[in-house]
Amino acid sequence: MTKFIEIEAKSVLQRQKYRDNWFWNRYNLNPYRGCQFACNYCDAITEKYLVHADYGDFSRIIYVKKNAPEVLEKEVKKVKPDVVVISGVTDPYQPAEKKYGLTRKILEILAEHEFPVHIGTKSDLVLRDVDLLKEIAKQTWCTVSLTIITFDKKLLPYLEPFAPSPERRLEAVKNINEAGVQAGVNFTPIVPYLLDNPGNIEEVIKRASKQAEYILIGAGMTLRSNQRIRFFELLKTNFPELVERYENLYGEQESPPKDYILRLNRCAFEFCKKYKIKNYIPPPGFERHPKQKALIPTESYDRDNLEVATLLLLMAFLKEFKSANPYSAWAYHKASNAIENLNESIRDVYRRGKLREIPGVGDNIAKVIEDVLVNGRSERLDKELVEISSVLKIG
């Protein structure tokens, strides 16, 4: 039986130092702590996120930030509008939401103050709030990512015992897109030796391609601290033949080896190309979903700075995916953040010949920026997108 504990939150809107180039968010927001879906691969039970005394209580005791809307109402007045991802640590549409309705109240506040939103969930309960999502999409930008890792009914009870069926989630993706709000599939994680076979990868991508605007591929499932302990307990009880294979694959590391991730990325890219679906979320201001506006409509933001910064982050995403190394494009992250926070227009910096004085901007990145400012596009980004869609050899 689930126990709900109502708590008073001092703060709910968490600002990231760097914008995320998977979900495009600057802020994180979690109305609940703990999650009733009890997914056995979830990394939210690691010490980094856990607020429970025992990780075994993560799905049994749900902390409800009952004052989250009131706190958010105060916080949004003190910060600049930017993308808020609602999820991250716990699912905003877990069953607790039917009882408390915090996520809807939060969306009402974000819509009122014109904050862009990205929702991550495993629940079709998100359809309840399509009216608010449509309003946010028309104002600024909105996307919804529903996690689907397999349609295998034999494996789902072990991996996602209490989550809505993937069929319901995919139907939600379809309905959200039909409502004029961008929606896609988050294929994360691809669980080694259970879901990493070409048959499962193709099925998820094929079925997603019929309803989704994009599919995110998460080949590097982590195994950290409590998460590792729990997952190995699952393996020992239900898949003992895989224990040694996992020990050999991970060793003492938190993630699989680079060559393993690259192999899965290549496999996924081939199917993305075959079924004509993007493996990234088109960011605000870039290949926007029909009927959606740019990221920030207020005049206080320098449009050129934000567009250039976003473009660099998209390039970083593509480079990191091709290399299976999240640090391979760190200079792009650094440069993007510096440009977004400039106190002047990037065009003025370019005219003075001072682009290379921006942190992270070397000759290659400077050339990208120059192409965008002069020609309105980047040949290098175009090349990256072509390579991604053509699945050229990597490494």
Using the predicted structure, report yes or no on whether residue 358 has a pLDDT greater than 90: yes
Give the β-pairing of 117-121 and 142-147: parallel
pTM listed for this prediction = 0.90
Contact 59, 37 (CB under 8 A): yes
Task: Return the minimum-mean-pLDDT range out of 32-41, 206-215, 234-243, 322-331.
Answer: 322-331
Contact 39, 163 (CB under 8 A): yes
Q: Which residue has the higher pLDDT, 384 or 133?
A: 133
The 3-state DSSP class for residue 289 equals coil
Q: Strand 117-121: give its sheet, edge to edge.
A: 14-15, 27-29, 84-86, 117-121, 142-147, 182-187, 215-217
Confidence of residue 170 (pLDDT cuts 50, 70, 90): very high
Contact 284, 141 (CB under 8 A): yes
> Superfamily for 303-390?
DNA polymerase beta, N-terminal domain-like (1.10.150.110)
Using the predicted structure, report yes or no on whether residue 288 has a pLDDT greater than 60: no
Confidence of residue 389 (pLDDT cuts 50, 70, 90): low
Q: Which of 308, 305, 307 is nearest to 294 (CA)?
A: 307
Domains of the chain, by residue range, sit at: 3-274, 303-390
Radius of gyration of the chain (CA): 21
Using the predicted structure, report yes or no on whether residue 388 has a pLDDT greater than 60: no
DSSP secondary structure code for residue 69 in this structure:
H
Distance of CA 286 to the CA centre of its chain: 17
What distance in Å separates the CA atoms of residue 194 and residue 196, rounded to the nearest whole number? 6
Q: Which residues contact 345 (CB under 8 A, 6 or more apart)?
A: 302, 304, 305
DSSP string, 22-55: TT--SEEE-SEES-TT--TT-STTSTTT--SSSG
Using the predicted structure, report yes or no on whether residue 394 has a pLDDT greater than 50: no
Q: What is the pLDDT of residue 16?
A: 92
Q: Which residues contact 46 (CB under 8 A, 6 or more apart)?
A: 224, 225, 226, 227
**CB-neighbour burial class of residue 237 (10 A; exposed 0-12, middle 13-18, buried 19+):** exposed
What distance in Å separates the CA atoms of residue 288 and residue 307, rounded to the nearest whole number? 12
Q: What is the pLDDT of residue 301?
A: 44
> Superfamily for 3-274?
Aldolase class I (3.20.20.70)
What distance in Å separates the CA atoms of residue 1 and residue 162, rounded to the nearest whole number? 13
